[in-house]
A and B are shown apart, each in its own frame.
Chain A
Amino acid sequence: MKYLACADLHCSKSEEAYSLSVLEEIAAICREEKTDGLLLGGDIFDSFQDAENMRNLFVGLLEKLPENCRVYYIPGNHEELRAAGTLEKFDFGRARLLAAKPYSLESLDVGLELAAIPFQKNYSAYRSWKVPPKGNKKRIVLAHGTVPGIRGYFQEEENPPGVLDEDLFACLEADLAVVGHIHAGYKKQSGDCLIISPGSARVWREGETGSRRAFLIDSGALGRPGEIILASAGQYRIIGVEAFPDCSLGFPEELETGKGLSPPDWLCLKVSGAVEDETEVMKGINKKIEELKKKYRRITLAKEDLFVLKGISTHPLALQFIKKWEESREKYGGEDEEAYRLAKWRGLAKLKEIAEARK
């Protein structure tokens, strides 16, 4: 039996087309792989309102799943965000909403069962849950929360879920635990249980670099789930753009050729450099952004490392410094490329500081 597991799709009205395109790809993967089930590990909707407003579209897309493919869906913390009710009152079509707290057990197949743990603020009472022994069966746990020892994106959140201690999985006799909430994918072996997080199924916030994935689980080999990249989710990519003292810009080859980039990508142009005139630089940047917006899903700009140094383009010491810096690439670039690049801005910034102090 095969199951596709994913989480944190964060379907939202503000990014409807994008989030639903990923869901469509998920359904296509299920068709292609002829999966027997789809496990949704929470935060499928970005908020309660999104669940309310988009559930019909969601149900419609689930109809594209193979006929015998059952869908198991646990609510995450986002589904209860600013909730005006409970999800149980909605119909999610083929998706079986497993919202019973603290957990519920579902039989997936002969010899395989699912323990579903929907979002809760506190899981610390897990030892009193009185979970029946699994006997000869294998058990998959589907949960939503943070697991200690797994580092991901620690962003402050509204209504955060509780922490799932690894011992919880041991108490549930889990053979495989699929955990949503942490947007960075990971795998961790904890005793007999493999804990996996698919990560966010789409790029939801800034900084979520890397491919977006889902896990393909074979019931006969729970310890070796396969990873499937969700191409339609794209990636968050930081593209470094150099601003030169004469306000010219250096765009990397990948931006020009599009090599390695895909339309659903979110590109963050990180502009850095010491320039005479920031507005002049921004003209060039904005022009480029307009071009890129036609090709890619989202473009943002970061210019913390861009600063203005009057006379920079003619300042002898600045020019000497830049020249010397470039000549030192071989010497310093190998040990820490980032520090080497940063050295340029720090040197020019220091020069700027001294020059301005002298005025």
Chain B
Amino acid sequence: MIETLNLTDFGKFKKRRFDFKPVTLFLGENETGKSTLFDAIFDKICAPKGNSAEGRRLKSRYGETRQAELTGDAPRISESDFLNLYAVKAGSAALEIDNNSEAINIVKASLFSGGIDPKIPADSLIRAVKARGRDSLSEGIKQAEQDIGRLKSDLERDYGIRKNYLFKEAEIKQKDAALEEAEKKIALLEESGAALEKAVKDQRLIKDEKQFTEIISLISDLRRRRENVKKYASYSAETLEKIKNLENAEKDCQNEIDAAAKNLEAALKEAAVKAGEKNALEKEQHKFDRVKILADSLKDRIYPKERLIEKKSVLRINKVFIAIAFLFTALGVFLFFNVPPRISFFVLAGGLVLALAFLICAFRKQTVDDVSRLRGELESLRERWRRETGGELEESYEGILLALENASRDAEFALENYTRSCEAAAAAEEKARALMGQKAQGENRYAGVKRELTGALSRAGVSGATEYAAALARKESETEGCAEIEKKVRLYGGEYGGVSEDALEDALRLKIKNIRETAPPGELTENELRRLEIQLSENRKMIAALQKTRGESISSVSRDRGETHAVFGELPQKITEEEKALGEAEARLGELKREIRASEIAGEIFSSLSEDAGRMLVNLSEEIKTVFSSFTSAGQTKVREVGLKSFSLSDSVTVSDELGTPRDLAHLSAGTRDAFFLAARLILAAKSQGGGKKAPIIFDESFTALDRPRTERALKILEEFRQKTGVQIVIFTKDFDLEEPARAVFGDALGVNRL
């Protein structure tokens, strides 16, 4: 209980002391300091923090130098409990209770078993479940889930890296295999390259040998040429010219001779031919002469013809006429038998006549020539002709005559021919003789030329101008060749230190010997060697390219391997640690979830116990109802029932009216509502005090709304309350009329302070 309150520089109280009794009444008009006293009591009992709203209000209103000293044993209570429960302000009897306030907890403790409202552990457990703070379970779960998420993500990433690493390792392995392949290829190429190089070198050696051989051959050639030059030293162009001329002359002579010989031959041939013709003709001529003579003689025998023909008469029978005559006869006979008799005779006669005519005509005497003599001459002539000439004459006179004439003419022709032939033969012979002469001349000339030529050739030792020219040309070419070869040989000799040709030859022969001992035989053609060199070149290019690629691959593989090893070297360890951490996080999560579930179950169990404890509120309601009823019933009206559903009061209270109908507080009159809150305050304040120090209940102008009877009833209830609980009561009012009923109710327990 508060015994005294000393104020210094507290509002209008510079230094003032106030005494308190179990019931203390402060009477004063407005602005006399009632609120200041209220604030001072509040300041001491609640000690609001400087940065709280009330703290700042007090500081602002009264300053920092204010002082209030309390004596007595008033407990420290919270601002909200003081303002909401223990202090009743004028016009605001409504009670706003913080359900978790200490006061209410004390009330609950006094109501429930063991003094602990099961809702407290239930709420605490549920709060722990729902708490979101740093050390809360949910935060732990969130953290664990985050960790799990992060670890899973890390694992996924690292397994992905591993997969990539293995893939890259497979690639590196392929590259290694490719490198190995390349190495093998390079080795093979180098092997084949070495073989090619040897082959090319051998070929070059062979070529060198060839060259050396050529040089040696050149040296030999030089020597030979020099011999030739020496040999043909005396040869000159003039001599050649001379020999040529001689040869030309010889040729001309020869040509002449040949021509002459040819002509002569032709002439002789012709002469021979002519002679032959002549002879032939001559032989024939005798024959022709004989024939002519014979032909002439014979011709004379028979010519003229009339001489040999005699005339004679002959009977000629025309057989045709005879046939016709016969025919007419037959016809007449035929007709005779076939025509009417009257005419048959005529017909027959006609026929016979005709036949006779023809018959007569058939026989005719004719004077003919008697050619028997002629025939006999001719026959004799033919015989003779046959015998002497062997030819046959025609049967007819004309034919014979013609043949004889022809024979005579032929003989004349033959004679002409013969004559001509003789002339021709003579001419040919003459010609031949002339040609013979020419030829002989030519031969003489030829012999002379030939002698001269032979002499020149013999002196030159050649067989002809060509040979001389060739020799001369050879001499020139040999001389030229010598110069060239000497130049080459000097050049080669220079490579050997300017040695002599003999020395050079010896040196080269030695080299050839060495080459033949080392290089295998078998020279390739130039094309083949070229191909070989191209192969070697390509081989080297391929090796270079492969080595370049290999170098790049080695760098790439080395880099890749370094990268992957750098990544993968520690990766399995990292994965294992992450899995371990994940396991731990999952275990932790499991534990936390189990904790939460355990807390939820425990909380639910306590909540169900709390529901059981709901009946406690019924008890409380009864107590409030009792006080409330004493405020309102005055013994006449029905006791109002109070229904508390929870400790919040503001929205969970129903009060039944006179008719017993439950109505919310808000629907009650202000006076009734104030009476309820006053009753609730008293009960709750009593119950919340617990043992030990008790806080006073302060009424600040709380009775202004009550009429006198209600005020007296309220005061009586307060006195009952005070006596029952020992709670100190402080009343501030400007109603000086309250003193009297207060003194009547409280008696000596009342202390009055006038402000």
Categorize the interface residue count of chain B. Answer: 35 or more
Cα distance A325–B118 when bound, in Å? 13
For A154, give its contact among B113, B584, B599, B601 (CB under 8 Å): B584
| Residue A343 at the chain B interface, CB threshold 8 Å | yes
| Residue A64 at the chain B interface, CB threshold 8 Å | no
Q: Which residues between 50 and 78 of chain A lie within 8 Å of chain B, taking CB atoms?
A: none
For A148, give its contact among B575, B583, B598 (CB under 8 Å): B575
| Residue A29 at the chain B interface, CB threshold 8 Å | no
A347 and B113 contacting across the interface, CB-CB below 8 Å: no
A328 and B605 contacting across the interface, CB-CB below 8 Å: yes
> Number of A residues whose C-beta is below 8 Å from B?
41
B580 and A343 contacting across the interface, CB-CB below 8 Å: no
| Residue B514 at the chain A interface, CB threshold 8 Å | no
Q: Which residues between 303 and 359 of chain A lie within 8 Å of chain B, taking CB atoms?
A: 315-318, 320-321, 324-325, 328, 332, 336, 338-340, 342-347, 350-351, 353-355, 358
| Residue A19 at the chain B interface, CB threshold 8 Å | no
B125 and A350 contacting across the interface, CB-CB below 8 Å: yes
B594 and A317 contacting across the interface, CB-CB below 8 Å: no
| Residue A206 at the chain B interface, CB threshold 8 Å | no
| Residue A240 at the chain B interface, CB threshold 8 Å | no
Q: Which residues of B contact A332 (CB under 8 A)?
A: 601
For A324, give its contact among B113, B124, B594, B609 (CB under 8 Å): B609
Cα distance A260–B166 when bound, in Å? 47
| Residue A179 at the chain B interface, CB threshold 8 Å | no
- B555-599 CB mask vs A (1 if < 8 Å, else 0) is 000000000010011111101100110011000000000110111
| Residue A146 at the chain B interface, CB threshold 8 Å | yes
Q: Which residues of A contact B114 (CB under 8 A)?
A: 315-318, 355
| Residue B426 at the chain A interface, CB threshold 8 Å | no
Q: Which residues between 103 and 121 of chain B lie within 8 Å of chain A, taking CB atoms?
A: 109, 112-116, 118, 120-121
* Interface residue SS majority, chain A: helix
Q: Which residues of B contact A340 (CB under 8 A)?
A: 598, 601
Cα distance A316–B469 when bound, in Å? 158
Q: Which residues of B contact A123 (CB under 8 A)?
A: 572
A350 and B605 contacting across the interface, CB-CB below 8 Å: no
Closest-CB distance, A238 to chain B (whole angstroms): 15
A124 and B565 contacting across the interface, CB-CB below 8 Å: yes
For B601, give its contact among A148, A164, A316, A339 (CB under 8 Å): A339
A354 and B597 contacting across the interface, CB-CB below 8 Å: no
Q: Which residues of A contact B583 (CB under 8 A)?
A: 151, 154
Cα distance A319–B297 when bound, in Å? 205
Q: Which residues of B contact A162 (CB under 8 A)?
A: 572-573
Cα distance A345–B580 when bound, in Å? 29
Give the residue name and chain of the B residue nearest to A149 (CB): B579
- A25-38 CB mask vs B (1 if < 8 Å, else 0) is 00000000000000
Cα distance A154–B581 when bound, in Å? 9
- B154-177 CB mask vs A (1 if < 8 Å, else 0) is 000000001000100100000000
A163 and B575 contacting across the interface, CB-CB below 8 Å: yes
Cα distance A326–B605 when bound, in Å? 10
Task: Assess A325 versus B597: contact at CB under 8 Å? Given A154-B584, A350-B121.
Answer: no
Give the residue name and chain of the B residue nearest to A164 (CB): B572
Q: Which residues of A contact B602 (CB under 8 A)?
A: 321, 325, 343-344, 346-347, 350
Task: Assess A317 versus B112: contact at CB under 8 Å? Given A148-B576, A324-B608, A343-B601.
Answer: yes
Cα distance A164–B571 when bound, in Å? 11
For A346, give its contact among B116, B120, B573, B595 (CB under 8 Å): B595
For A343, give its contact among B166, B579, B605, B612 (CB under 8 Å): B605
Give the residue name and chain of the B residue nearest to A314 (CB): B114
A163 and B605 contacting across the interface, CB-CB below 8 Å: no
| Residue A167 at the chain B interface, CB threshold 8 Å | yes
Q: Which residues of B contact A354 (CB under 8 A)?
A: 116, 120-121, 124
A339 and B597 contacting across the interface, CB-CB below 8 Å: yes
For A321, give its contact among B124, B162, B609 (CB under 8 Å): B609
| Residue B606 at the chain A interface, CB threshold 8 Å | yes
Q: Which residues of B contact A167 (CB under 8 A)?
A: 162, 166, 169
Cα distance A324–B118 when bound, in Å? 12
Cα distance A72–B168 when bound, in Å? 35
Cα distance A320–B607 when bound, in Å? 12
Task: Assess A321 versus B606: contact at CB under 8 Å? Given A124-B568, A148-B576, A163-B572.
Answer: yes
B116 and A317 contacting across the interface, CB-CB below 8 Å: yes
A339 and B113 contacting across the interface, CB-CB below 8 Å: no
Closest-CB distance, A349 to chain B (whole angstroms): 9
Give the residue name and chain of the A residue nearest to B612 (CB): A320
Cα distance A336–B114 when bound, in Å? 30
A355 and B116 contacting across the interface, CB-CB below 8 Å: yes
| Residue A277 at the chain B interface, CB threshold 8 Å | no
Q: Which residues of B contact A146 (CB under 8 A)?
A: 576
Cα distance A149–B28 when bound, in Å? 85
Cα distance A167–B124 when bound, in Å? 53
| Residue A113 at the chain B interface, CB threshold 8 Å | no
Cα distance A48–B605 when bound, in Å? 56
Closest-CB distance, A301 to chain B (whole angstroms): 21
Give the residue name and chain of the A residue nearest to B580 (CB): A154
A127 and B169 contacting across the interface, CB-CB below 8 Å: yes
- A168-203 CB mask vs B (1 if < 8 Å, else 0) is 000000000000000000000000000000000000
Cα distance A317–B605 when bound, in Å? 11
Give the residue name and chain of the B residue nearest to A311 (CB): B114
A165 and B598 contacting across the interface, CB-CB below 8 Å: no
Cα distance A328–B600 when bound, in Å? 13
Task: Assess A148 versus B609: contact at CB under 8 Å? Given A328-B601, A355-B116.
Answer: no
Closest-CB distance, B368 to chain A (whole angstroms): 146
Q: Which residues between 125 and 169 of chain A lie within 8 Å of chain B, taking CB atoms?
A: 125, 127, 146, 148-149, 151, 154, 162-165, 167
Cα distance A351–B123 when bound, in Å? 12
Closest-CB distance, A99 to chain B (whole angstroms): 22
Give the residue name and chain of the A residue nearest to B602 (CB): A347
B597 and A163 contacting across the interface, CB-CB below 8 Å: no
Closest-CB distance, B135 to chain A (whole angstroms): 15
Give the residue name and chain of the B residue nearest to A347 (CB): B602
Task: Assess A320 versus B568: contact at CB under 8 Å? Given A148-B579, A167-B166, A351-B121.
Answer: no
Closest-CB distance, A225 to chain B (whole angstroms): 24
- A198-226 CB mask vs B (1 if < 8 Å, else 0) is 00000000000000000000000000000
Q: Which residues of B contact A346 (CB under 8 A)?
A: 125, 595, 598-599, 602
Most buried by B among A149, A316, A347, A354: A347
Q: Which residues of A contact B120 (CB under 8 A)?
A: 354
Give the residue name and chain of the B residue nearest to A348 (CB): B602
A336 and B576 contacting across the interface, CB-CB below 8 Å: no
Closest-CB distance, B570 to chain A (whole angstroms): 7
For B605, give its contact among A164, A324, A355 (CB under 8 Å): A324
A347 and B125 contacting across the interface, CB-CB below 8 Å: yes
Cα distance A339–B590 when bound, in Å? 10
Cα distance A338–B597 when bound, in Å? 10
Give the residue name and chain of the B residue nearest to A324 (CB): B605
Q: Which residues between 114 and 130 of chain A lie within 8 Å of chain B, taking CB atoms?
A: 122-125, 127
Closest-CB distance, B559 to chain A (whole angstroms): 16
B605 and A347 contacting across the interface, CB-CB below 8 Å: yes
Closest-CB distance, B627 to chain A (whole angstroms): 27
Closest-CB distance, B698 to chain A (whole angstroms): 27
B601 and A165 contacting across the interface, CB-CB below 8 Å: no
Give the residue name and chain of the A residue nearest to B113 (CB): A316
Cα distance A345–B162 when bound, in Å? 46
Cα distance A318–B115 when bound, in Å? 11
Give the residue name and chain of the B residue nearest to A322 (CB): B605
Apart from A343-B598, A343-B601: 10 A-B pairs, beta carbons within 8 A: A122-B569, A165-B162, A318-B114, A321-B609, A324-B608, A328-B605, A336-B594, A336-B597, A340-B598, A358-B116
- Pick 20 A–B contacts, CB within 8 A, sort by A: A124-B568, A125-B565, A162-B573, A164-B572, A315-B114, A316-B114, A317-B116, A320-B612, A325-B605, A339-B594, A340-B598, A342-B594, A342-B598, A344-B602, A346-B595, A346-B598, A350-B121, A350-B125, A354-B121, A355-B114
List the 7 closest A-B pairs by CB distance, nearest first.
A347-B602, A316-B113, A343-B601, A342-B598, A163-B572, A339-B597, A317-B114
